[in-house]
Homo-oligomer: A and B are copies of this chain.
Amino acid sequence: MIIRPPQNWFVRLFNWHGSVLSMIIFRLGLNLFMSIVAIIAWPYYENLNIHLTVAPFSLLGIAIAIFLGFRNNASYSRYTEARMLWGSVTITSRSLMRQTVSALPEDTATQQKLSHYLTAFSWCLNHQLRQQDATLDMQRLLPADAAAEVMKSTSACNRILIFIGKEYANLRREGKINDFVWQNIDENLNELSRCLGGCERIANTPVPFAYSLILQRTVYLFCTLLPLALVSDLHLMTPFVSAFISYAFLSWDSIAEEMEHPFGTHPNNLALNAICTSIERNLMDITGQSPLPALPVPDKRFNLI
């Protein structure tokens, strides 16, 4: 499925993307309030001996933009790494099924059993990362006793991998899969283990908290003080220009904040449900099961969940 937002710049410009604006609306309001304060206070600047010029704010603003660029890079690379890991879950599940189907072309029961285990692994990882209850999906996809053992375990996804490993080891011992095939399969299991570990790492190691705090405080303070400095140059135009500058800085900070935690259910997070459904459809297609679960459809903001 190819997802491409509208390309016409005019359509894009007036596309309503509530998510980010709604997150910064209060801070933008604060900025407008400070603009009004600045306009009212300005005639008394001389008397109060207040001097604020744009120059030092310009220096600070550019420094903040550079730091925001750094934070955006860090957040975006977390997002893309998370997407790559889920891409690898998809790829590796399909490769494992290809190897299984090629090695056991007649044994449909085993093929489908393993496809259920692999599907269960991706849904389990999804629920773990989003801190949701995985019971329903586990019961749907796994044999009753395996589902119970998985739900009891303190590391449910890893437990499913152990099950899969044991299945293939049994097939090897029974001579159904030869040693050479097993070796390549085992390497793909290692890859699934890497994906699991990588996702856990991203989820439990946020960018150090102090990092984002320092930047956000600097951004908020900058946006709040900016009108006081702009007013002597811009007078009545202060609210427009300072709101515009604040919009740029606050929305970039907001979206960086969203991408930093890619496993949530916010609009700019990863569409884990869609990915899992896609894996399920792929594995069912390979092993000839039907009917396939419905394809997810992007919402009007071009996001999937």
Does the CB pair A102–B64 fall under 8 Å?
A: no
Contact B165 A99 (CB under 8 A): yes
Q: How far is the CA of A168 from the CA of B102 in the complex (A)?
A: 8
Given A64-B248, A208-B255: A214 touches B20 (CB 8 Å cut-off) = yes
CA distance A4 to B225 in the complex (A): 29
A23: chain B residues within 8 A (beta carbon): 9
Q: What chain B residues lie within 8 Å of A112 (beta carbons)?
A: none
Q: Is A136 an interface residue (CB 8 A)?
A: no
Q: How does the 8 Å CB contact mask read for A80-96 relative to B, with 1 for contact and 0 for none?
A: 00011001101100110
A175 proximity list for chain B (CB < 8 A): none
From B90, B189, B255, B282, contact of A98 by CB (8 A): B189
In the complex, the answer to whether B49 meets A27 with C-beta atoms within 8 Å is: no
Q: Does A17 contact B (CB under 8 A)?
A: yes
CB-defined contacts of A162 to chain B, threshold 8 Å: 98, 101-102, 286
The count of identical subunits is: 5
Report the nearest B residue to A53, measured CB to CB: B233
A180 to B169, CA, bound (A): 12
Is A47 part of the contact surface with B, judged by Cβ < 8 Å? no
Contact B210 A255 (CB under 8 A): yes
Binds B, one of A66-74, A115-123, A139-147: A66-74
* A241 nearest CB neighbor, chain B only: B56
- A118 CB, min distance to chain B CBs, angstroms: 14
A188, B188: Cβ atoms closer than 8 Å: no
Within 8 Å of chain B (Cβ to Cβ): is A161?
yes
Interface flags for A154-182 (1: CB within 8 Å of B; 0: not) read: 11001101100110110000000011111
Query: Is B91 touching A196 in the complex (CB atoms < 8 A)?
Result: yes
Known: A12-B216, A235-B51. A159 touches B285 (CB 8 A): yes
Pull 17 A–B residue pairs with CB atoms less than 8 Å apart, ordered by A: A3-B203, A3-B205, A7-B257, A49-B236, A51-B236, A54-B55, A54-B56, A59-B245, A62-B65, A83-B205, A90-B200, A94-B193, A98-B162, A158-B282, A178-B179, A180-B180, A210-B268
Nearest first, the 4 A-B pairs at minimum CB distance are A91-B197, A102-B169, A63-B65, A87-B201
